[in-house]
A and B are shown apart, each in its own frame.
Chain A
Amino acid sequence: MAEAAIHRRITPPGFGEQVADALLSGRGIWPAVPAIVVLTVVAVIPFAILLSLGFSDFEMSRGAIISQTFSFSHLTNALTDPLYWITFQRSMNLALSTTALCLLFGYPVAYLFLTGGPWTKRLILVLTIAPLLTSGIVRTYAWLVILGGRGVLNSALLQAGLIDQALRIMNTHWAVLIGMVQIHLPVMILPLIAVMSRHDSRLVEASENLGASRIGTLRTVILPLSVPGIGTGSALVFTLTYTTFVVPQILGGGNYLNAATMIYEQVVFSLEWSKGSVSSLILMVTCLMVLVAIALLTNHFTKWTKGHDA
């Protein structure tokens, strides 16, 4: 009798429950299926088209492709054209220096967040997140107002008698750099804060108790433990700035050619789709190379985390 009752209770779960269980078990690829579908539609297919455009010569007639032959010519043309080299170098320089400056300015803010009281923390969070709530374009135009020939900065400097002639900042490399750093700073600060506040605050106290100065603690405890945050922040800022379009376009005054603006011109103005797709490929491959380098560096400095599985 009792056995029968027990048997009845351990009947297998219903089909719906089984599906839900399988989805949430974390095993297999099921939870990723929606993302895979979306990515295939919006990324993989366009990418395939991009590849086929970049590696083929084709003849068009009335907006339709009539013949298509495989060819490396667009790639070899691009790699031998000094304009490409200069442009990609400019993009790379801009992205690397923006990343470095964001880290330089962002790290102290994250450190302040870590060591500060509750009000400091709140203030930093508000100041970091608030800019993200306004569009990048709006913020970029704000810099126009500040840095322009008759902008806030020049008026102030002139008034103070520090300069006798308006500085030309707009439409220069400097304007682009300033705008880029300001716009991407939160993207650096947030991962830093997230990683730093994950660690036990007792570690800092232990370090001081063991005789470390503030600098010693920063160098030997806080910095090594924040490496994953530095890695994530740098990867994000680099990717965003290396492929950026809006800021160079507005603050560079239309004559600041970087990779993204070049692709835009090739595709939209000169309708050279093959050139555009080759440029995009180069942009993507070089970006990935830097990301891999960042990942390797991050890994190298966080070897200790591998101990968890060993």
Chain B
Amino acid sequence: MMHGPAGPSNTVETTAPVLGIGAVGKRFGATRVLQDFTLDVAEGEIVTLLGPSGCGKTTLLRCVAGFWEADGGTIEIDGQDIVDVPVNRRPVGVVFQSYALFPHLTVARNVGYALRMRNKPRAEVAQRVASVLETVSLTGFENRYPSQLSGGQQQRVAIARVLVMEPRVLLLDEPFNALDAKLRGAMQVELRQLIKRLGLTSIFVTHDQEEALTMSDRIAVMSGGKIEQVASPDEIFDRPATAYVADFIGVSNFLETEVETGHVRLPDGQTVMTDLTGGVKVMTRPHNLRLGPPEAGPWKGTVSFHRNVGPLIEYHVEASDGNVIRVSAMRQERDCPVKDRSQVSLSVIDPASCSVYPG
């Protein structure tokens, strides 16, 4: 595929994915770590790989970066297959989980490394290093060694070091793992804004769902080396494609039941439409449930535990069938002050927001 100057005739090409991963597989001995992995990332898009430990996230990044060779499939950047391109010639920048900063080089020399390896003139290196350091707000730290920086500052150096080479694709492997919760939250927002401002096409790896919801344009939920669902954070949260995704993202309540001609009946008497037949699982989020006085409905239970989570109160309700149902409510609107061990009834606020999965 040719890349001409941007213009009206190039509309098709500019919407073509920057990074195309097609049916990539990877096995170590007998274990298949990646199976038939397919994912396209569009220009300027941040796609997050989200999945439990060991599901193959790092493996995929390492194949894209070229540290490992995929067993099969294609990896294309701007339509050009890069499988045979050596690591140091791929237009891919990696931010490592451990940062992997060069301990013997100052901040400025760490950041200028990629430019020096490309034999750029001194003046250009100095100028670009200064401008990147300004971008990540590290001006004034040029002459420090990595060991003299805080975790958050090291993180910025790691990002600056990659940004300076203007990669076509940015790969970030759990870049916030070493940071404490508060700094992590701040860095997430900051990094997302930075990547968006620079328009970098990125794959971001995490196993923290909140981080995924913050950082991503799209989230790819992985399980066992395969993608379960790729969609926007809202869609993943509101309409998880499989029970696995629903379970992985956010808190979910699963109710096992049987389909009665085109719909399932919820314990509170309301119905949800479905095309499935036989035994199914109905999933509803805690915020889609409401507690009422015990006589208000047929779905009864006992509050077994509650806690305040910031502005929310989370209740664990032991239903009469033994299921523990999780319900959350805003803290202010205590129209029904509920104590532990008190009898309540449950009802679904919006049945259409429930998802139905094969049982």
Residues of A bordering B, CB below 8 Å: 199-200, 202-203, 205-213, 216, 220-221, 224-225, 302, 304-305, 307-308, 310
Contacts and interface: CB of A to CB of B under 8 A. Distances in A.
Interface string B229-266: 00000000000000000000000000000000000000
A298 to B, nearest CB: 13
Interface of A is mostly: helix
Interface of B: 65, 67, 87-90, 92-94, 96, 98, 100-106, 113-114, 116-118, 144-145, 147-148, 161-162, 165
Given A210-B162, A211-B114, A203 B145 contact: no
Contacts of B147: 307-308
Given A209-B65, A210-B117, A308-B147, A200 B98 contact: yes
A209 B92 contact: yes
A210 B145 contact: no
Contact of A212 (B67, B104, B117, B144): B117
Contacts of B116: 220
B94 A206 contact: yes
Given A209-B93, A210-B161, A304-B105, A203 B100 contact: yes
B167 to A, nearest CB: 9
B148 A307 contact: yes
B87 A209 contact: yes
Contacts of A209: 65, 67, 87-88, 90, 92-94, 162
A310 B96 contact: no
Give me the 5 closest cross-chain CB pairs, A-B, nearest first.
A307-B145, A202-B100, A210-B114, A206-B100, A211-B117
A206 B118 contact: no
Contacts of B148: 307, 310
Contacts of B94: 205-206, 209
B96 A208 contact: no
A211 B118 CA distance: 7
A168 to B, nearest CB: 48
B129 to A, nearest CB: 13
A211 B104 contact: no
B166 to A, nearest CB: 11
B208 to A, nearest CB: 21
B114 A202 contact: no
A202 B98 contact: yes
Contacts of B102: 203, 206-207, 221
